């Protein structure tokens, strides 16, 4: 299942760089991104290459620099989830295999795919329901993370029944078309062992408002805002909280 279980180990090999080297590498990547940004002018409009996405990701990272690797999180369970799942840097051998199998994925979608791999490994769910995923390649990451997980890809709610949601089901919702209706359909079925992943929470003003409504919903417990997606848990025994994470 990818070479490693992400349940929070007491001891693990350390692949982390020293702080000074880490900052130097981030600055070097930022400078290289700026140097490799190609701009073409056509009819007074600027067409940016895919390097603009890289620059944007670095800008988001810099804006969230105070939320790195669980800094400031007081809850031990929330800290462990951020440190050993969300921001885990272990070099799973499956990553290279998945990269070769999905060579056309953008950097952002590959980064999210790796996250879903780790979340799948963490949840060990019997099923994963994905509503309008931006790429079907996510299914490969999910199954590699936990090979017992059955993935259901949905493009419409017409044939979907909430009866397919079990106590451990992970629900992945992409904020494209008809996402609010799907959310209203499932929210009452999600319990303390379920996890909801919402992709695209900062895409525009409407998705930002939707994410705010999700956080304020009475069913919602602890939330993690990763900018590119949000992760929601429903254990009401835990204090309702929203954590901003530098992902």
pLDDT of residue 143: 98
pLDDT of residue 71: 66
**What is the model's pTM?**
0.77
pLDDT of residue 9: 36
The model's pLDDT over 170-210, given as tens digits with 9 standing for 90+, comes to 999 999 888 999 999 999 999 999 999 999 999 999 999 99
pLDDT of residue 53: 66
pLDDT of residue 23: 47
Distance of alpha carbon 150 from alpha carbon 152, whole angstroms: 7
Neighbouring C-beta atoms of residue 169, cutoff 10 Å = 25
Query: Which stretches of the chain drop beneath a pLDDT of 50?
Result: 5-23, 25, 27, 29-49
pLDDT of residue 203: 92
Q: Taking a C-beta distance cutoff of 8 angstroms, is the pair 221, 234 a contact? A: yes
Distance of alpha carbon 229 from alpha carbon 160, whole angstroms: 23
Distance of alpha carbon 225 from alpha carbon 211, whole angstroms: 9
Please report the DSSP string for 205-237 in residue order.
HHHHHHHHHHHHSTT--EEEE-SSEEEEE--TT
Helix, strand and coil content of the chain, in percent to the nearest 5, comes to: 45, 15, 40
pLDDT of residue 97: 96
Three-state secondary structure string covering 51-112: HHHHHHHHHHHHHCHHHHHHCCCCCHHHHHHHHHHHCCCCCCHHHHHHHHHCCCCCHHHHHH
Among 152, 191, 195, 148, smallest CA distance to 171 is for: 195
Provide the token pair at 119: 């979340």
């Amino acid at each position: 299942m990818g070479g490693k279980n992400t349940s929070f180990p007491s001891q693990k090999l350390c692949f982390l760089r020293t702080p000074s080297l880490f900052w130097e590498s981030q600055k070097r990547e930022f400078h290289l991104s700026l140097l490799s940004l190609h701009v073409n002018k056509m009819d007074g409009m600027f067409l940016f290459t895919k390097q603009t996405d890289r620059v944007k990701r670095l800008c988001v990272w810099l804006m969230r620099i105070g939320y790195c690797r669980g800094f400031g999180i007081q809850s031990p369970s929330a800290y462990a989830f951020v440190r050993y799942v969300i921001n885990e840097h272990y070099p799973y051998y499956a990553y290279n295999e998945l990269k070769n199998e999905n060579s056309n994925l953008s950097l952002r979608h590959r980064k999210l795919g790796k996250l879903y791999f780790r979340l799948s490994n963490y949840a060990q769910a019997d099923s994963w329901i994905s509503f309008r995923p931006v790429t079907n390649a996510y299914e490969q990451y999910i199954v590699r993370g936990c090979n017992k997980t059955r993935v259901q890809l949905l493009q419409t709610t017409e044939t979907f029944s909430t009866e397919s949601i079990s106590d451990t089901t992970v629900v992945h919702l992409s904020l494209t078309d008809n996402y609010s209706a799907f959310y209203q359909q499932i929210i009452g079925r999600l319990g303390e062992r379920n996890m909801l992943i919402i992709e695209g929470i900062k895409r525009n003003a409407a998705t930002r408002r939707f994410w705010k409504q999700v956080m304020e919903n009475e069913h919602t417990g602890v939330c993690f805002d990763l900018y590119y997606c949000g992760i929601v848990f429903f254990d009401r025994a835990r204090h309702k909280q929203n954590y901003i994470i530098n992902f």
